[in-house]
Amino acid sequence: MKQDILQAKFVQEMMKTTANLYRLGWDERNGGNISYLITEEQIEPFLNVQEVKRIVPMSFDASPLAGKYFIVTGSGKYFKNVSDDPAGNLGIIRIAEDGKSYELLWGFEDGGVATSELPTHLMNHIQRLQVDDQHRVIIHCHATHLIAMTFTHRLDAVALTKTLWEMCTECIVVFPDGVEVIPWMVPGTDDIGRATAEKMKNVRLVLWPHHGIFGAGTTMDDTFGLIETAEKAAQVYTIVCAQGGKKQTIKDKELKELADAFGVTPRPGVLKR
């Protein structure tokens, strides 16, 4: 007899993370989406993977992910409702062998489908798996102060990275690879997916100006904490600007000392030698 899917660790993680993102104000209404790469071994105690409820076509060819399983948030779904109705707001999908559709194994019980950003998520999973075989999670959210920062700060990846590193001592340790930024683009398109994935070759955080942030990681906690740390730095930046700007900051030499102390390699070109 199969166990209750709602007790699965990966479902519980999705419920808790979506609740936290909504609580923090980063996923208003139906804003934001999550995809979480899981294994057949994780699913089998809860579901018969041979039972496919629906097949949903995709415009994007996800052949490199054929046969892989994901738990994802749904299109038009509100994060605030996930904990009360996980089966209506989440879905477990398997990418079909031809890469041009996905098979729904559980969830989306009201006839829903995966997030409209699914192609962007899949493109970024493909990219991150090429550089990190432990990669598992993509989170897109509307982190408030990071969005605000894209209105007031120069949209240059090196400059943004340096500013965020200076705002909180932990930043260079948590994201030594820095952040990237793409031009403003219409969301939900293959174009924005490709642009984001191109940046994900070297970083785990990509800013979408005036929109939000895309974060990648090996676990749900890792990815949430990555975004949380960058957002805290952006909030400090906001407060510093409101207080009249920097009078002093963490110097490049001190940032390098931090990186050395924690055994991380800072993104080249950000710190002066």
Give the domain ranges of the chain: 1-116, 118-263
**Topology given in CATH for the domain delimited by 1-116:** L-fuculose-1-phosphate Aldolase (3.40.225)
- The answer on whether 153 is annotated among ligand-binding residues is no
Residues in contact with 180: Cβ distance below 8 Å, sequence separation at least 6, in sequence order? 157, 199, 200, 202, 203, 205, 206, 207
**Whose CA is closest to 89, among 101, 75, 103?**
75
Q: How many whole angstroms separate alpha carbon 94 and alpha carbon 66?
A: 8
Closest CA to 212 of 39, 26, 82, 4: 26
CA dihedral 117, 120, 124, 126 (to 10 degrees): 110
CATH class of the region 118-263: alpha beta
Please tell me the distance from the alpha carbon of residue 14 to that of residue 71, in angstroms, as a whole number: 8
Please give the positions annotated as active site: 117
Report the pLDDT value the prediction gives residue 188, as an integer from 0 to 100: 87
Fold matches, 1-116 and 118-263: yes
Look up the pTM and report it: 0.96
What confidence score (pLDDT) does residue 1 get? 83
In whole angstroms, what is the distance from residue 214 CA to residue 26 CA?
A: 12
- The answer to whether the annotation marks 210 as part of a ligand binding site is no
pLDDT along the chain (273 residues), means of 10: 95 98 96 97 96 95 97 97 98 97 97 96 97 97 98 97 98 98 94 96 97 98 98 98 96 97 97 85
CA-CA distance, 49 to 2, in Å (whole number)?
11
Tell me if 112 sits within 8 A of 74, measured CB to CB: yes
pLDDT at 256: 97
pLDDT value, residue 232: 98
What is the reported pLDDT for 9?
Answer: 98
- The answer on whether 142 is annotated among ligand-binding residues is yes
Paired sense of beta strands 101-107 and 90-95, if any:
antiparallel
Q: Which of 97, 104, 40, 32 is nearest to 65 (CA)?
A: 97
